[in-house]
Amino acid sequence: MHEADQIARAAAGDERAQAALVNTHMPRVYAVAKRMLKDAVEAEDVTQEAFIRAWKALPDWEPRAKFSTWLHRVTLNLCYDRLRRKREQTGADELPERVDPGLRPDEAFDQAQKVQAIEIAIDDLPERQKAALTLCSLQGLGNKEAAEVMEVSVEALESLLSRARRKLKYVLKPEGV
């Protein structure tokens, strides 16, 4: 079924079309929210909120962008809002970037430790770098679509991605340099 047809049916209350939209997009939306917020409950709230906004938007939906792009953008903006509120509550201007010294790579690092170290390093990335990395490297979006989601140019996205990858590669360097 074409996406526009599916959206029109979902807007009209067709339960099968609605279920198809949820099954297609919800796991990825949740994964992005979980990666950004590092909290399962908050990620669930954001996913539900993103779909509530989608249900409201569907009747007037105009296919200027792909539904997945629009939904990812809403999700990301909801995540930014929550992260901003958290920062205001804690008084921190920006979460500090750090690489856990306890997980500094060395010769003895096995694969599981590398995965764990990269998880921590991703969590510590600045928001926009984390978003770029999550969308492109983890969710498999193309640079163009990820740039649309983040409402930046492709060049800006590539710059964010490059900086994120540089920090992650640092974690993998055996000499830690």
Partner 1 sequence: MPEDKLDIELDAVLARLPETDPPVGLAERILADAPRPPRKTLIEGLRSAIFPSGRRWPAAGALASLSVGMMAGYAVAQDTSLPVDADSIVYAALGLDADRFELEYDG
Positions in the binding site for partner 1 (CB under 8 A): 10-15, 18-19, 22-23, 26-27, 30-31, 34-35, 40, 44, 47-48, 51-52, 55, 58-59, 111, 114-115, 118-119, 137-138, 165, 168-169, 172-174
Q: Which long-range contacts (CB under 8 A, 24 or more apart) does 41-49 make?
A: 42/82, 46/75, 46/78, 46/79, 46/82, 47/75, 49/78
Shortest separation between residue 136's beta carbon and partner 1, angstroms: 10
State which residue, 163 or 165, has the beta carbon closest to partner 1. Answer: 165
Shortest separation between residue 95's beta carbon and partner 1, angstroms: 20
State which residue, 47 or 69, has the beta carbon closest to partner 1. Answer: 47
State which residue, 40 or 92, has the beta carbon closest to partner 1. Answer: 40
Calculate ∠ Cα 51-46-77, nearest 5°: 90
Shortest separation between residue 132's beta carbon and partner 1, angstroms: 13
Cβ contacts of 112 within 8 Å, gap of 6 or more: none
Shortest separation between residue 92's beta carbon and partner 1, angstroms: 25
CB atoms within 10 A of CB 165: 15
Of how many residues is the chain composed?
A: 177
